[in-house]
A and B are shown apart, each in its own frame.
Chain A
Amino acid sequence: MRIHCQNCANTQNFVLPLWVRATFKIEEDGTISILHVRQLESLEEKLADQGKTSFALTCTECGGDAQVIFDEYSGLDQQRREQAALEAL
């Protein structure tokens, strides 16, 4: 799997917003103290959905949309297959 920014050459750092359910407590003085945080979204689903219905994953450097390539060698395999087919002919 490879992730890269569509605007710049960044392939390392990306920002991902995630919905969580926070359980909190209101103290006697009115301040808020967080007790527990539970993740509501699946990270895998968000990555798989990237570029289809949403662009959640963004570049840290430029803020552009990131592109996720799950099988980066599929194109290479196709090229090899085509080359083999031509050689056979």
Chain B
Amino acid sequence: MRLICVACGNYVHFEVDVEMVQSTKSTPHGLTVEDSFENGWNDTTATLRMGVIDIVDYCIKQDMDALRWDAEGSCYVSGYITCARCGSKRVCVPYQAWSPPRDHVTLEEELRSNRQEFHWLRKEREYADTLPELR
């Protein structure tokens, strides 16, 4: 599960607007529009696929920054992706990185519990670049 629609719970089908490149050719009979090829590579399908993948990855990476506040609905909505089932723009990643975990531990407690390990680490670093001494 990479994205979820908060309105209907759909996490499979979505819609996105992307720009793709097509080729136009002038012929004696008129203008034809077809897929654009460059060095045997289909640019039309490549730009479409990469556009969709880029937007999905961007929304997942940016998390809250990819959302904008909708004053009418009083909720956050995605600026890029729409749910293909209900048409809602309330699409986001299924979890939020900033939400605190249930067993929340303060930084002070965490440092105190890891103090011994840190001492061992410093000790390792202190003697890491010296050869053992024979006595």
Residue numbers of A with Cβ under 8 A of B are: 1-3, 11-26, 30, 32, 34-35, 37, 40, 43, 47, 57, 60
Pick from A12, A16, A22: contact of B18, CB under 8 Å? A22
Q: How far is the CB of A52 from chain B (nearest CB, A)?
A: 18
- CB–CB B48/A20 < 8 A: yes
- CB–CB B48/A25 < 8 A: no
Pick from A13, A21, A34: contact of B25, CB under 8 Å? A13
Pick from B11, B18, B51: contact of A26, CB under 8 Å? B11
A-B contact pairs, 23 of them (CB 8 A): A1-B30, A1-B31, A3-B24, A3-B26, A12-B25, A12-B26, A13-B23, A14-B23, A15-B22, A17-B19, A17-B22, A19-B17, A21-B16, A21-B17, A22-B18, A23-B84, A24-B15, A24-B52, A26-B14, A32-B56, A34-B48, A47-B31, A57-B24
Residue numbers of B with Cβ under 8 A of A are: 1-3, 11-26, 30-31, 33, 36, 48-49, 51-53, 56, 84
Q: Please, which residues of chain A bring their CB within 8 A of the CB of B49?
A: 32, 34
> Which B residue sits closest to A60, measured CB to CB?
B23
Pick from A15, A23, A35: contact of B23, CB under 8 Å? A15
> Given A17-B20, A19-B19, are A30 and B13 neighbors across the interface (CB < 8 Å)?
no
Pick from B12, B33, B53: contact of A25, CB under 8 Å? B12
Q: Please, which residues of chain A bring their CB within 8 A of the CB of B15?
A: 21-24
Most buried by A among B18, B23, B49: B18
Q: How far is the CB of B3 from chain A (nearest CB, A)?
A: 7
A42 CA / B48 CA spacing, docked (Å):
18
A21 CA / B48 CA spacing, docked (Å):
10
Pick from B1, B11, B31, B84: contact of A3, CB under 8 Å? B31
- CB–CB B21/A17 < 8 A: yes
